[in-house]
Each structure stands twice: as C-alpha cells, then as structure tokens.
C-alpha cells in the first residue's frame, strides 16, 4: 500500500496543477499513517513515506517542512515517553533489589535458630533410619558358617521385610526368621520344605513327597555326610522347613527338636517336633544383597 502511494506521488508531481492536491493529501495520509504506527509502537523514520517527502521537496512543495515539523514533534514526544518508562523501570528494579537486601538482613537466623534447625534435621534423619530398619529392611551380620559358601562368616547383608506381604516363600529362598527354640535370636537358612509337604532325607539327598528324583542342590558347600539319612519331615500347613547350605556344620531343622528337649522347651519328642519348623508368622524377611565380604545379590542363589 505504501509503495502504491509513492507511485501516485510521483505521477501527480509531473503536473503543476496537481501539486496542491498532492500536498494536502500527503499531509492527511502522513498523519493517519503516523498515528497507526504510533498505536503499534513501531514508527519508523525511514519508512517509504520519507522517500515520498524527499521527492516532493525536490519538486518545490511549500508545506512539506510543516509536515516534517509535526513528525519531529511527535517523535520527540514518543522518545520522551520511552525515556520516562526506562527511568521508571530502572527505579522499580533498584527498589526491588533494596527491598530484597533488607529482607536478607532481617531474615538472617540467630544462633539459637541455627542450632534448632540442626536438631530438627538430625531428629528427622534418625526417625527415618529407625523406621526403615524397623519396618522395611533388616541389616544383619552372619556369625557362623552354616550358610557357606553362599554367605561367609561375618558377612553383612540386607533383608527386605516386605518380601512376603503379597507372596509366599518359595523353595530355595534365603530367609531371615526367628529361631524356633529361642525367638530372641534371628537365624538365616534356606527354604527346603513348603507347607504340607513330606520331606525325606536319604543318603545325603532330599526327596519331596516321595519323589524318585532328588532335589537338585548346587549350593551345597561340600559332600553332605552329617545327619544325612533316614530323616522324614511332615511340614505343617502353616510352616516351612529350613536347612543350611553347609549341611555338615549347620544347626537347622534336623536338630532343633532335640535342642528343644535339652533346653526344656518340650517334654516329649512329639511336643518337640513343632520346633523343627518355622511358622509363617516368624519369618522376618528375605535376604536381598550381601554388601560386606563381597557385594552379591542373593535373590538367585
């Protein structure tokens, strides 16, 4: 549209009779165009109209200076407004910075507040640690070699207390539980017999429910020679049978009934039989990972 207007200016100025109309029309058009650009805040001195004004000035138009004068005045007003806005913005930023500095000085904690903050932090950390150790994990040290070579003496491991909330122990799981003869102690063994199963030990092999094929046990430390024959367990429906991987040096289900008799927990062999099994409610959790004397995941061992 602006280029078309410049073309019209060129054509009209070729004729002296059209100069008056061009001059008045240009004054009106220039004012409208300036107000439009001012509303959008994109007024440009080097617009195509200035080309037209220079062309008209060269061709002798009288009132062109008046037009430029109006434009200069309007431009100066716009510059003044922008300068005032810039100054006000700078003052606002400075005021915000000074207020922030004042707040920082005012909010500086005292020694008592700092000490109280540390106490709260330490208390929260202790609470979280106790909660996790009490309800989520077990941090255990293995004092004997009953689970060698899977777990060595003095190894440290972490068990997960929530392992059997939505599932049941499986054969082969390494679990931590309350020792049936003395529940103040925690033991760690491998699950061999499941609830309701018949477990038979013959010549160092384990047979489940009179199966002709023995249980495959690749985790045994060595050839099994201690208490390895003519032993039968009928696992109660709410309990599990536990044996150690080091069968020649493990105190497990094979001898807990005899220990219960010796310690006076039972008066007869029949009463003592229940001490051979671990009730499901006495299971604390499943061993997950060994982190001392080698790092090793125990889930598939």
List residues with catalytic annotation: 146, 189
Instruction: Determine the Cα–Cα distance for residues 234 and 215; give it in Å rounded to an integer.
Output: 16
Buried b (16+ CB within 10 A) or exposed e, 11-26: ebbeeeeebeebbeeb
Could you say which DSSP state residue 166 is in?
A: S
Give the chain's radius of gyration (CA, Å). Answer: 47
Distances (CA, A) of 178 to 25, 146, 147: 104, 16, 16
The 10 Å Cβ neighbour count of residue 129 is: 10
Phi, psi of 83 (to 5 degrees): -65, -40
Instruction: Determine the Cα–Cα distance for residues 128 and 204; give it in Å rounded to an integer.
Output: 46
CA-based angle 271:272:276, to the nearest 5?
Answer: 130
Which tokens in the block code for residue 5? 């207007």
Phi, psi of 223 (to 5 degrees): -60, 130
Instruction: Determine the Cα–Cα distance for residues 13 and 16; give it in Å rounded to an integer.
Output: 7
Q: Give the pairing type, strands 205-208 and 137-141.
A: unpaired
The residue to which tokens 């330490």 are assigned: 122
């Amino acid at each position: 549209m602006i280029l078309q207007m410049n073309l019209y200016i060129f054509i009209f100025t070729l004729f002296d009779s059209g100069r008056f109309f061009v001059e008045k029309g240009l004054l009106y058009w220039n004012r409208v165009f300036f107000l439009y650009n001012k509303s959008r805040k994109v007024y440009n001195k080097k617009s195509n109209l200035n080309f037209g004004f220079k062309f008209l000035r060269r061709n002798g138009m009288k009132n062109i200076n008046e037009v430029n004068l109006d434009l200069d005045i309007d431009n100066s007003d716009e510059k003044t407004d922008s300068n005032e806005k810039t100054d006000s913005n700078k003052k606002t930023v400075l005021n915000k910075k000074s207020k922030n500095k004042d707040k920082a000085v005012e909010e500086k904690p005292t020694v008592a507040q700092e000490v109280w903050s540390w106490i709260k932090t330490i208390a929260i950390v202790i609470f979280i640690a106790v909660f996790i150790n009490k309800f989520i994990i077990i941090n255990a040290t293995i004092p004997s070699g009953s689970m060698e070579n899977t777990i060595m003496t003095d190894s440290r491991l972490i068990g997960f207390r929530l392992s059997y909330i939505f599932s049941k122990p499986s054969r082969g799981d390494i679990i931590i539980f309350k020792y049936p003869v003395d529940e103040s102690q925690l033991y760690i063994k491998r699950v061999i017999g499941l609830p309701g199963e018949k477990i038979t030990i013959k010549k160092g092999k384990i047979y489940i429910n009179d199966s002709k094929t023995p249980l495959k046990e690749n985790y045994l430390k060595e050839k099994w020679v201690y208490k390895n024959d003519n032993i039968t367990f009928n696992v109660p429906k709410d309990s599990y049978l536990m044996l150690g991987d080091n069968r020649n040096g493990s105190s497990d289900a094979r001898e807990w009934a005899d220990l219960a008799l010796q310690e006076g927990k039972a008066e007869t062999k029949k009463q003592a039989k229940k001490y051979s099994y671990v009730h499901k409610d006495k299971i604390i959790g499943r061993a997950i990972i060994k982190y001392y004397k080698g790092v090793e995941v125990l889930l598939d061992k």
